[in-house]
Structure 1
């Protein structure tokens, strides 16, 4: 029996993907573990492996196709010993059987239709006719007139009927002024109103940016990748829904730079070279453990406090920014952090990160000092509670610890905090802890 190969779910947020490239063709024999295709998700380009053995019969989705929904049949595989030519093509999604048209309302309630027809023609009601609820025999009125009177609040006893034998009909109620309704009818109407569920308000329409007109200037139009679409969606969501508070500190780097030089000399034989950013990742992780009120995530009804610090490190790639995660950065050595950051950054630039390597994280760090940026405010990466933006270290005049004036290498660091979860005082405590660890860096090695 032929096996349908479907678009897989390669990340928790993936709903569709781009079939970037087929690595097999019809007629190829594949076995479990063979790479079938490269699929671009909302995070990265990932390889899709075969699970079963057999012969590729049909490639249902051409490579380069965008917006392929998860679960869509993309290829068909004939099992071993099965004639490939006899394998059926991929079956389209089963469409639900048409349901019979609902019966018309008048057909479902012939009694109501008879009432209106009888009244329209000035005829008395049929024998045994009973209106909804108890009928007051002292007042002759059609069931339709009674319902209309209850809705308008008209007292039937005060009306004179124009129907046969003085019967009150619809036209009599419509001509009457609203007044006190009969007690029994009013109670029934009130009960019906109370029992009826209030209509749910329609959800607000999503904010859609208006497409700008392209000016008549020589240009090149580049199609947005899934990664770029995801970046745009998540950053827009963050700025619209997360109230940001920004706190900046100036940090002297001289002691950290000296320690880095000494550590690199000792690690040279192991082929490890620490960057300033590696040490800052460690400093942020330890600061979060020292100030756990900042190592949090906000949900609509809970505040989640994490017991370890997993740091997401912003990495620029050809397709956009991605944040691979250094797990347990608070307990790892700086040499181990340096090795992991280098490996993760390489995988990110090649689009080869696995979901578990970029999902999660309790806080983020973004370093633009290498580009000469002095200071900036970073956008929080939801659902995390904070992100640290690191600027360039530069020589600045400053007051030394002994109150003398001097020149030091100073870096500006700005923390962006989710103010729903983190108070300003707690964010300030984190920034102070971070500054103290950087200015007295031996604490990073303890």
Structure 2
């Protein structure tokens, strides 16, 4: 029996996603649980696995094309079922699932003989792209009726909506999708109608000797802007600063790396100390929810990773139970895949606490913005030589590292946050305790 594959809701609250890469082609047999597509969200690329077994009868959107969550993106047929039979059966399923009140839903094409479904050129284009050129499931997404009413501008409803929001004239865009269809990526960098038609309408702010270039916002940049604006305006931040002496920490790291059991970074030791402090002060291992403060039994910590065009915070699970060598390898793997754009959505979710380290850039001290719904983030500065007052009131040189705790006051009161930061400082200044 035919199965309709719909765009999944990869992340909570996501209304739109894109197929970055199809991992199967028309005619391939698919097993349940087999990855069939890489779905792109604002921050990650996620492998989507088939929920049923079958044979790929049609791929309904092109690589790089966006559509709304719940829209049909592919059709699986039963073994021995032809593509036309599967598409027809899927159309019947789709018709039965439409709302009783007559609200418009997707349209499945009727099965027609292969020679009537597409011209030779269209068939060739469909074969080259791996997308069924004769199959259009979304109303107005380039079907014959929609094309004639839109002056032969081939674009999906999502692209038309984005074009309206950005004031982009689709007639000026050259589509790179199948058969010249305009897809989401074609809108990046396109000028708004008001910018093209009325360049003199806005006052010129920059001087004539200071030319500028507008860099279009990426999905990641928009997501960062939205989440951090939400955090800064809705979460009551407060900040605590500690100056940690790290000579013993650096010596421990030197000894570990000299043993040639895998390279360990200062940041690995910081993350491990954060986990130990959360074990010591479990009240801090919590987040705010509308109905309760949710306290966790496992210590899951997000580690900030700088990537092209933004920042990702993959989460390391069970840091408190993880050997240091395993933690180091896990953080390195997550960071490498984050920079390569291969991180999974579930690896960006969860955790109660984050670590953001700018020490490698020579930054002495900074304050970080909380990553909701997490209740704490530790901003870590560079380890550097500074004059300090010794036990006998003499001035000596020590290697110091300044850390700043940003805390959600709804979860952590000042005294509790101070208790946690003191626990962290004890661990970082007596690093053998990190390994116990």
Tell me whether the two structures share a fold, i.e. TM-score over 0.5: yes
Contact 1:296 1:304 in 2 (8 A): yes
Cα distance, 1:288 vs. partner?
1.7
Deviates most, 276-285 or 418-427: 418-427
Select 1:380's aligned residue among 370, 377, 391: 370
RMSD (Å) for aligned C-alpha atoms: 2.7
Q: Secondary structure of the equivalent of 1:237?
A: helix
Contact 1:255 1:441 in 2 (8 A): yes
Instruction: Give the distance between the partners of 1:223 and 1:335, measured in 2 at CA.
Output: 38
Of 272, 284, 306, which aligns to 1:282? 272
Deviation at 1:58, TM superposition (A): 2.5
Asked if the contact 1:314/1:322 (under 8 Å) is kept, the reply is: yes
TM-aligned CA deviation for residue 286 of structure 1? 1.2
Task: Choose the corresponding residue for 1:221, options 212, 215, 227.
Answer: 215
Counterpart contact for 2:58–2:83, Cα < 8 Å: no
- The residue matched to 2:306 in structure 1 has which SS? strand
Whether the 8 Å CA contact 2:58–2:87 is kept in 1: the answer is no
Change (3 A) 1:305 1:34: closer
Match of 1:396 among 372, 383, 386: 386
Cα shift at 1:426:
1.7
Q: 1:25 to 1:260 in 2, by over 3 A?
A: same
Structure number with larger C-alpha Rg: 1
Q: Does 1:345 align with 2:335?
A: yes
**1:88 paired residue number:** 87
**Alignment correspondent of 1:415:** 405
Residue aligning to 1:430: 420
| Secondary structure of 1:87's aligned partner | helix
Q: How many Å apart are 1:36 and its aligned residue?
A: 2.6
Q: Give distance in 2, aligned partners of 1:370 and 1:402.
A: 33
Asked if the contact 1:22–1:38 (Cα under 8 Å) also holds between the matched residues in 2, the reply is: yes
> Which of 261, 265, 271 is 2:258 aligned to?
265
Aligned length, in residue pairs: 331
Counterpart CA distance in 1 for 2:75 and 2:52 is 11
Shift of 1:34: 4.6
Relative to structure 1, the CA distance from residue 50 to residue 289 in structure 2 (aligned partners, 3 Å threshold; closer, same or farther) is: closer
Counterpart position of 2:48: 48
For the Cα contact (< 8 Å) 1:248–1:415, is it kept in 2?
yes
Q: For the Cα contact (< 8 Å) 2:352–2:374, is it kept in 1? A: yes
1:32–1:53 contact (8 Å) kept in structure 2 = yes
Q: Shift of the alpha carbon at 1:368?
A: 0.7
User: What is the match of residue 166 of structure 1?
Assistant: none
Contact 2:353 2:377 survives alignment (8 Å): yes
Unaligned runs of 5+ in 2: 104-164, 166-191, 196-201
Offset of residue 429 of structure 1: 1.9
The answer (yes or no) to whether the contact 2:46–2:345 under 8 Å persists in 1 is no
Q: Is the 8 A contact 1:53 1:80 kept in 2?
A: no
